A and B are shown apart, each in its own frame.
Chain A
Amino acid sequence: MIWEVAKREITIRSRTKSYRIITAFILLLAIAGPIAVKLWPGSDDARELAIGVVQDENFSADFEATAPLVFGNDYDLDIVPVEQSEVDELLAQDAFEVAVEPGPTLVWKSSAEPEVGLLIGASLQQSALVGRAGEQGMTPTELGELLAPIDLGERFVEDQGETSDIVITMAFIGLLMAFAMPQVFGQLAMMSVIEEKASRVIEVLLSHIRPRTLLAGKVVGISLLSVAQMVLVCGGMLASLLLTTDVDIPNSAYLFLPVLVICLLLGLVLYITLFSLVGSLISRQEDAAQVMMPVFLPIMGGYFVGTNAAFGNASSLLARILTYVPFTAPMLLPVRVARDAVSTPMMLVSLAGMALTVVLLIRLAGRAYEFTLLRTGSRIGWGELVQLLRSS
């Protein structure tokens, strides 16, 4: 029966224009985002740099050969041969950004770029070395062996962790999803309950199935619907990223992904259950804003503290506390794990707390549902609900 209710939720909700439009819109953003970044003028990593070089037998030919090697892939060099008399005028006209005169001397238009200056200096140094080595009877191969870079290793006294920008980015995207999706799909569940109460279809349903079965089916169905949207959007974004950029995904990202997914799923189920319960307290959509407020507060709090933990202090007292509060943990835990601010045992404690809360909440909401679903008219207060549960 749970699956029957879940199937209906999936079928009916996915059929609505609003769900389709929102999903298509988010998917479009997810796919188009990396493509747009790739196509955006100037977004290419290689910087175009024009260098005017006054023709001189002492260095210009060697400079043209060594500069691309020294500047590497970060620069797309355009070596422009110029006459000495043209340098100032062409610089003023922005024909190139810097010129190299015999001397050698760098000529700038008005201000110098230290990094470019250093790289040109290194290129000239290389050119000079090649020239000098030739004068000493050394072949370029011998010079290459002489100047071969050493293999410089690294070691750390303390464990540096494996935190990477990609993992933190994943955590932040997860934070945004943990913030937005429970609200969107939780409210969908709540509206579904209110609709059933208002139309009295609830009476027909409950003459066949138990309230907790209805609740479980609703939570399963809407959770699956949200997971489908999540998979679609994340899959689209990942495919678009892989096709447009050279992303090197570190092992730590694969280890982090299960934590993120579990937190997102537990958060979704927790809030969809909570929103469904809240929806059963009222009979009219007009009353929804009042009863939703207590549910929004932990979501908002978790989001703001989570954002600070992602980009600021991941070990603040508030962030540490909220990591173990089941209603904010879906937002805080992934971010702090990504920042390497939570030990593995404490991460398991937080996950267990969330899972236990979800189980207890579903049981509690199932019991509350039996009292609240058939009550119409005025809103049922939280105090009254507690009394009903106690008296049962």
Chain B
Amino acid sequence: MADRLVVEQLHKRFDDIVAVDGVDLRIEPGEILGFLGPNGAGKSTTMRSILGLVAYDSGSITLDGEPIGPTSRRSIGYMPQERGLYMRMKVHEHIAYIGRLAGLDSATANDRANRWVERVGLVERRDDLIQELSTGNQQRVQLAVSLVHEPSLLVLDEPFAGLDPVAVATLSDVMVEQMESGVSVIFSSHQLELVQDLTDRVTIIAAGRTRVTGTVTDLRNSSPDRNLEIVWQGEAPHWQPPDIAPLPDSPAGVSRFVVPSATNSADLIASASQAGSIASIRYEPPSLDQVFLEVVGQ
């Protein structure tokens, strides 16, 4: 399938600060891509470059195979990291206004705004001022604003920040719906469990550069480490794999280790079962959190 968005070797410098130093990413139609990186890694600058809000120094960005420009950018929906809303506008009025700016005629913008007000659960707040809404509800409006013109690419910068579990669930549902209807969704987040649940693939950047990209499963499996957790029946015996110390935060009766992926797991289990009685055992690739920390070098 042809890529919807391709970013290649993007570079951007603000005076003496190198914000982006070679970011590559791509996303297919109907895919959710997690765009990860520590604070200051260049995620927002990359997203703002895609939106044309930052003039990048070099590199290329193509949308549906064509160099991105003002016209093609109209098919992008954007949700900035901070609430980008007019506080003194009403909910429906705001969504319809952005729809008209995105090129919809008045009637269509109103219809779509009605639909999105309903979809994000704000029917009763339809004519309330934005400033009267909670943070979570404002984020729902922000989501509706980014989707009112039915974009083919959705760019969400930290969309889950500050949301309660109900709002997180609504936002996650909408993202999956959009993906299923063929929309490409790229989003950044520090809530890696959510990323792991929602995304097909992730791209991790650090210090302005793309470090790894791939499916969550592939990234986890490609790690040189494995997590080993043994729950003993009774007190944990003084057992450990050769040359590997247990992790310091293991609770009583539980031994946790990070072992090289090349280790023979059957040998380990056999050795452990000779040391004590095992209640349960888990041997698995590291979590996305661990992969992330490993990749960004922390």
Interface on A for B, CB 8 Å cutoff?
1, 4-5, 8, 11-12, 15-16, 195-196, 199-210, 374
Complex-state Cα separation, A11 to B86, whole angstroms:
13
User: Would B97 and A199 count as touching, CB distance under 8 A?
Assistant: no
Counting CB contacts under 8 A, is B248 at the interface? no
Q: Which residues of B does A touch, CB under 8 Å?
A: 48, 51-54, 70, 73-74, 76, 78, 80-89, 93, 97-98, 100-103, 145-146
Looking at chain A's contact residues, is the secondary structure mostly helix, strand, loop, or mixed?
A: helix
A11 to B52, CA, bound (A): 29
Cα–Cα distance between A227 and B128 once the two chains are bound (Å): 29
B78 nearest CB neighbor, chain A only? A207
Q: Which residues of A contact B53 (CB under 8 A)?
A: 203, 206-207, 374
B89 near A200 with CB under 8 A, answer no
Q: Give the residue name and chain of the A residue nearest to B54 (CB).
A: A374
Known: A8-B97, A207-B53. A201 touches B88 (CB 8 A): no
Query: Nearest B residue to A15 by beta-carbon distance?
Result: B88
Task: Say whether, besides A207-B52, A207-B53, A199 and B87 are in contact (CB < 8 Å).
Answer: yes
Alpha-carbon distance A209/B54, docked complex (angstroms)? 14
Closest chain A residue to B157, Cβ basis: A203
Q: Which of B73, B76, B81, B84 contacts A199 (CB 8 A)?
A: B84
Contacts of B85 in A (CB 8 A): 199, 201, 204
Q: Taking the nearest CB of chain B, how far is it from the CB of A194, in angstroms? A: 13
Nearest Cβ on chain B to A322's Cβ, whole angstroms: 38
> What separation, in Å, do the CA atoms of A195 and B87 have in the docked complex?
9
Separation of A195 and B101 alpha carbons in the complex (Å): 19
Assess whether A200 is in contact with B51, with CB atoms less than 8 Å apart.
no
Q: Are A204 and B98 in contact, with the CB atoms below 8 A?
A: yes
Contacts of A200 in B (CB 8 A): 80-84
Measured CB to CB, the closest approach of chain A to B135, in angstroms, equals 13
- Supposing A199-B84, A200-B82, A374-B54 touch, asked if A205 and B89 sit within 8 A by C-beta, the answer is no
- A4 and B101 contact, CB distance less than 8 A: yes
Most B Cβ at <10 Å: residue of A1, A12, A203, A210: A203
Chain A residue at minimum C-beta to C-beta distance from B145? A204
For B88, give the chain A residue with the smallest CB separation: A12
Query: What are 27 of the A-B contact pairs (CB < 8 Å)?
Result: A4-B101, A12-B89, A195-B86, A195-B87, A199-B82, A199-B83, A199-B87, A200-B84, A202-B84, A203-B51, A203-B80, A204-B80, A204-B98, A204-B145, A204-B146, A205-B98, A206-B51, A206-B52, A206-B53, A207-B51, A207-B76, A208-B101, A208-B103, A209-B101, A210-B70, A374-B48, A374-B54
B145: A residues at CB distance < 8 A: 204
Closest residue to A208 on the B side, CB-wise?
B101
Of all chain B residues, the one with the shortest Cβ separation from A373 is B53
| Assembled-state Cα–Cα distance A199/B73 (Å) | 22
Chain B contacts of A1 at CB under 8 A? 101
**Quick one: closest B residue to A202, CB to CB?**
B84
* A283→B270 CA distance, assembly (Å): 65
Min CB gap B297→A, angstroms: 28
User: Which B residues are CB-close (under 8 A) to A207?
Assistant: 51-53, 73, 76, 78
A204-B145, A206-B53, A208-B74 are known contacts. Are A12 and B86 too (CB-CB below 8 A)? yes
Given A203-B48, A206-B53, A207-B78, A16 contacting B88 (CB threshold 8 A):
yes
Residues of B within 8 A of A5 (CB): 101
Complex CA gap A14/B24 in Å reads 47
Q: Which residues of A contact B76 (CB under 8 A)?
A: 207
Query: In the complex the two chains form, what is the Cα distance from A210 to B97 in whole Å?
Result: 16
Chain B residues contacting A199 (CB-CB under 8 Å) are: 82-87
Asked whether A203 and B97 contact (CB < 8 A) given A208-B102, A210-B70, A374-B54, the answer is no
| A199: min CB distance to chain B, Å | 7
Q: Which residues of A contact B88 (CB under 8 A)?
A: 12, 15-16
Q: Which residues of B contact A374 (CB under 8 A)?
A: 48, 53-54
- Residues of chain A within 8 A (CB-CB) of B74 are 208
CB B183 to nearest CB in A, in angstroms, measures 16
Cα distance, A11 to B129, chains bound together (Å)? 13
| Whole-angstrom CA separation of A5 from B100 in the bound complex | 10
Question: In the complex the two chains form, what is the Cα distance from A8 to B88 in whole Å?
Answer: 11
Distance in Å: Cβ of B270 to nearest Cβ of chain A: 58
A60 to B85, CA, bound (A): 86
What CA separation (Å) do A15 and B86 show in the bound complex?
14
Q: In the docked arrangement, what's the CA distance between A202 and B53, Å?
A: 10
By CB atoms of chain B within 10 A, which of A5, A8, A11 has the most?
A: A8
Kindly state the separation between the CA atoms of A201 and B145 in the bound complex, as whole angstroms.
11
Q: Are A201 and B86 in contact (CB under 8 A)?
A: yes
Give Cα A199 to B85, complex, Å.
7
Question: CA A294 – CA B48 in complex, angstroms?
Answer: 33
Contacting residues, chain B, for A210 (C-beta < 8 A): 70
- Given the contacts A4-B97, A4-B101, A203 and B54 also touching, CB distance less than 8 Å: no
Question: A199 vs B101: C-alpha distance in the bound complex, in angstroms?
Answer: 18
A145 CB, min distance to chain B CBs, angstroms = 77
Q: Sort A-B residue pairs by CB-CB distance and give the 3 closest, nearest first.
A: A204-B84, A208-B101, A201-B84
Across the two chains, which residue of chain B brings its CB closest to A205? Answer: B101
Q: What residues of chain A lie closer than 8 Å to B52, measured between beta carbons?
A: 206-207
- Taking the nearest CB of chain B, how far is it from the CB of A293, in angstroms? 27
**A205 contacts across to B, CB distance below 8 A:** 98, 101
Compute how far the CA of A356 lies from the CA of B243 in the bound complex, rounded to whole angstroms.
82
Residues of A within 8 A of B101 (CB): 1, 4-5, 205, 208-209
Q: Given the complex of chains A and B, what is the CA–CA distance between A15 and B80 in angstroms?
A: 27
Complex contacts, A11 vs chain B, CB 8 Å: 93
> Chain B's nearest CB lies how many Å from the CB of A228?
19
Alpha-carbon gap, A16 to B129, bound state (A): 12
Shortest distance from the beta carbon of B69 to any chain A beta carbon, whole Å = 12
Known: A16-B88, A205-B101, A374-B53. 7 other contacts (CB 8 A): A1-B101, A12-B86, A204-B78, A204-B85, A204-B98, A204-B145, A207-B73
Taking CB as reference atom, which chain B residue is nearest A1?
B101
